[in-house]
Amino acid sequence: MHPSNSEVMSGRPVQRQIAAQIETRHNPSRDLRLDRANSEVVLIVDDVPDNLSVLHDALDESGYTVLVATHGEAALQRAAQALPDIVLLDAVMPGMDGFEVARRLKSNALTAHIPIIFMTGLTETEHLVAALEAGGVDYVTKPIKPKEVLARMNVHMAGARQARQTRSALDAFGYASITVRASDGRLMWQTPLARELLQSFFGAASPNAPDAVQTWLRHQLPLLVENTEPPRLAIEQGARRLTFRLHQQAGDDDWLIVMREVSDASIIEAMSLSFKLTAREAEVLYWVVKGKINRDIGDILGTSPMTVKKHLERVFAKLGVETRTAAAGMAMNRIRQFHPQFEG
């Protein structure tokens, strides 16, 4: 049976010492975010050593990498550091209880996506409802039955596994993704690439989406009702451009947004390779696509309009066209093959 809070807080120093030893032994110092190749990571949060040992052995035998925490603060720290695939969370603990731990995990964009299964000896309906309202996806009752826990975990980790694979695939192709709660702008989850891009373009990390993204999202939702393609948001930072596209609804109030960075340099390099142009010819063609006249292009590139004209003549010859309009159209079509979100 789970001891009461008063029992844990008022005595049992031997149990606390054992719990500390278990916590140290099963919390390697390396960053487990990099250790996903052969097993999935489970974080067990419980202040009772017997519960930790039973669950640890069962999960370890089933091939999981197991982390443990014996109190709320340690749970939050380890979840943010290791980003476990699932959390098994004791509801009743001294100090910060499991309900508060769950609320904090769900309020942090870094950990909000992690499924939480509550472990509780409290079977009254109000406590079970509180567990779900705090962010839990399921619960198991004490005394813990490892086979039941494993079965519940498999149900919820299948969806989490698929979502993680999808997000990783998007990142691999340069399409970062975030999920934003429309009502308050909360970042429900974000891929590693998305986190890097948001910090690069908007500064320090925040639990909420940037203000510009929240405003854009609110303006897009009415267009979805009208079956109209929502316009994309573009944030420019020098030669870099970060675009946002509303992809699909991910929950009652959650929306999946796909982001991609487009930079002038990468487009110019791609055009150079695609059309067999010199670097300077590709630059001239790029600014023609952007609608610039020879004088403006000369100012941008630090050369004369006459030199720009000569470069442009060689571009026409290589592309097999005779006019700026034809060259710009051919270049635009090619650019959109490798940068679909590009806007001339």
pLDDT at 317: 95
Which region among 3-12, 87-96, 244-253, 296-305 has the lowest average model confidence (pLDDT)?
Answer: 3-12
Residue type, 18: I
Select from 166, 185, 204 the last residue of a domain: 166
Whether 162 and 178 map to the same domain: the answer is no
Whether 202 and 255 map to the same domain: the answer is yes
Distances (CA, A) of 327 to 305, 307, 335: 18, 18, 12
Q: Report, as an integer, the average pLDDT of 202-224.
A: 87
pLDDT at 179: 87
56 occurs within a structural domain: yes
Whether 236 and 307 map to the same domain: the answer is no
pLDDT at 118: 93
Whether 199 and 155 map to the same domain: the answer is no
Its pTM stands at 0.49
Q: Report, as an integer, the average pLDDT of 159-165.
A: 67
49 occurs within a structural domain: yes
Whether 126 and 236 map to the same domain: the answer is no
Q: With a cut of 90, say whether residue 227 has pLDDT above it.
A: no
pLDDT at 240: 79
Assign 135 a pLDDT band (cuts: 50, 70, 90): confident
Select from 133, 166, 199 the last residue of a domain: 166
Percent of the chain at pLDDT > 90 equals: 32
Whether 179 and 249 map to the same domain: the answer is yes
Whether 252 and 293 map to the same domain: the answer is no
154 occurs within a structural domain: yes
Whether 95 and 75 map to the same domain: the answer is yes
Whether 107 and 41 map to the same domain: the answer is yes
Q: Report, as an integer, the average pLDDT of 298-327.
A: 93
Whether 27 and 162 map to the same domain: the answer is yes
pLDDT at 176: 85
Tell me the residue range of the domain where 225 lies. Answer: 174-263
Percent of the chain at pLDDT > 70 equals: 79
Q: Domains in the chain: how many in total?
A: 3
271 occurs within a structural domain: no
Whether 22 and 86 map to the same domain: the answer is yes
78 occurs within a structural domain: yes
Assign 13 a pLDDT band (cuts: 50, 70, 90): very low
268 occurs within a structural domain: no
pLDDT at 246: 87
Q: Report, as an integer, the average pLDDT of 123-137.
A: 81
Q: Report, as an integer, the average pLDDT of 88-98.
A: 91
343 occurs within a structural domain: no
pLDDT at 210: 93
pLDDT at 268: 85
CATH code for position 258: 3.30.450.20
Select from 237, 263, 289 the last residue of a domain: 263
Q: With a cut of 70, say whether residue 24 has pLDDT above it.
A: no
Whether 130 and 188 map to the same domain: the answer is no
200 occurs within a structural domain: yes
